[in-house]
Amino acid sequence: MLRPETIAQMPKVELHCHLDGSLSLSCIKTLAKNAKINLNLTDEEILEKAQAPENTRNLLEYLARFDFVLPLLQSYTNLELAAYDVARQAALDNIRYIEIRFAPEQHLLQNLTLEEAVEAVVAGLSRAEENFDIIANALVCGLRQSTLEKLEKLPPIFDHINDSHLVGFDLAGDELNYPQQKFSGLLAQVNARNVHITLHAGECPHCEQNIVDSVNMGATRIGHGIMSKNLPEYQETLISEKIVLEMAPSSNFQTKSVTRIEDYPFKQLYDMGVHVTLNTDNRTVSNTTLQKEYEKISTWYPDFGIEDFEQINHYAIDGAFIDIVEKEALHFKFTDEYKKISD
């Protein structure tokens, strides 16, 4: 088992982090003040509302926790501050490259347009890049429970926004009631624009088919993909296609993707050669950091060593939605830094 200090030294990549689920307490308070919303809550009460308890029963109960912060994320200023705040926390986690995702349609309650919501987030990420040693990019999420009419407004965002920080598309939200198949037309519109795709899939019991469908619809990465453990015949495809699984241990236990460590497929998939990665999903809702997720993995699998953590970071770099030159630079930097930690 690795010491927390050793884990803290490791440079990290995070591919799966939701903006609205990851706001720090101080940021939540600032956003409320800016929005002229009197929360009238102690710090403990704020956290109680924003975090999902251990006894959360399923994904839908977990998702209900996001209702608390969304009223605070309805202006350009607040979205910019939020994006800055999450990238800042990531930098403190020794993350050198992060992709932060959010659903623009949830931020239009005042007068923002979809494009303005994206511009605000991208501006916050750019400002964080100036102040911290981090590269921070944005992914646009569609929400599965949304109408197709609303979802079809998302692909054109990629025509309208010409900013290198906007790097990909995701579908998040209610996987229990909205299987992937429903979105094939939408994803065809995303593919037509050559936009990188990662999709939440295989996060709920009996949802494994969504993983196969996601890959067939152009996803090169899968958000969580826990139910791939039930697809022995498909695991070879995940390996040969180098599909990256964005796993998030704390979140996966809270949403009840799994309930027993013995059933968590991270190590088994890693040993087979599947490109697994570690992520927070939601720093605030899951009350976590990437440091804590690495510590969990190190405790559950004491043999998972520095070289294994390095390997999953190289998998994450390979799967990142950046060009080959940026990937090579990150691979080089990570190889060098992990070598120094091992020596």
Ligand X SMILES: O=c1[nH]cnc2c1ncn2[C@H]1C[C@H](O)[C@@H](CO)O1
Determine whether 24 is exposed, middle or buried from the number of CB atoms within 10 Å of its CB (0-12, 13-18, 19+).
middle
Q: Which is nearer to ligand X, 200 or 221 (CB)?
A: 200
Catalytic residue among 99, 175, 203, 293: 203
Q: Which residue is nearest to ligand X (CB)?
A: 172
Residue 254 Cβ vs ligand X, minimum distance, rounded to whole Å = 9
Residue 331 labeled ligand binder: no
Question: Residue 140: phi, psi to the nearest 5?
Answer: -95, 130
Does residue 133 have a known ligand-binding role? no
Pick between residue 30 and residue 288 the one whose CB is nearest to Zn ion: 288
Nearest approach, Cβ of 230 to Zn ion (angstroms)? Answer: 20
Of 136-155, binders to ligand X (CB under 6 A) are 141
308 is in an annotated binding site: no
Contacting residues toward Zn ion, per CB under 5 A: 281
Q: Does 168 bind ligand X (CB under 6 A)?
A: no
- Mapped onto helix, strand or coil, the DSSP state of residue 7 is helix
- According to CB under 6 A, which one of 200, 229, 292, 296 is a site residue for ligand X? 200
Determine the Cα angle at 179 with ends 174 and 180, to 5°.
110
Check residue 199 for interaction with ligand X (CB under 6 A): no
Whether 203 sits among the annotated catalytic residues: the reply is yes
Return the one option of Zn ion, ligand X, none that residue 89 interacts with (CB less than 5 to 8 A, by type): none
How far is the CA of 268 from the CAs of 226, 235, 264, 272, 276, in angstroms? 11, 11, 8, 6, 10
Residue 96 vs 101, nearer CB to ligand X: 101
Report in angstroms how near the CB of residue 171 gets to ligand X at its nearest. Answer: 9
The residues near 1 (Cβ < 8 Å, ≥ 6 apart) are: 298, 299, 302
Give the CA dihedral 203, 118, 114, 30, nearest 10 degrees.
90
Site for ligand X in 251-290 (CB under 6 A): 251, 281-282
In the complex, the smallest distance separating the C-beta of residue 335 from ligand X, rounded to whole angstroms, is 31
Residues 40 to 69 in contact with ligand X, rule: CB under 6 A = 59, 63, 66
Q: Distance from CA of residue 218 to its chain's centroid? A: 18
Q: How far is the CB of 270 from ligand X (least distance, A)?
A: 20
CB 223 within 8 Å of CB 172: yes
With CA atoms as reference, report the closest residue to 78 among 130, 142, 141, 23.
23
Query: Rounded distance, CA 317 to CA 327, Å?
Result: 6
Binding site for ligand X (CB under 6 A): 18, 20-21, 59, 63, 66, 101-103, 106, 141, 172-173, 200, 203, 251, 281-282
Catalytic residues: 203
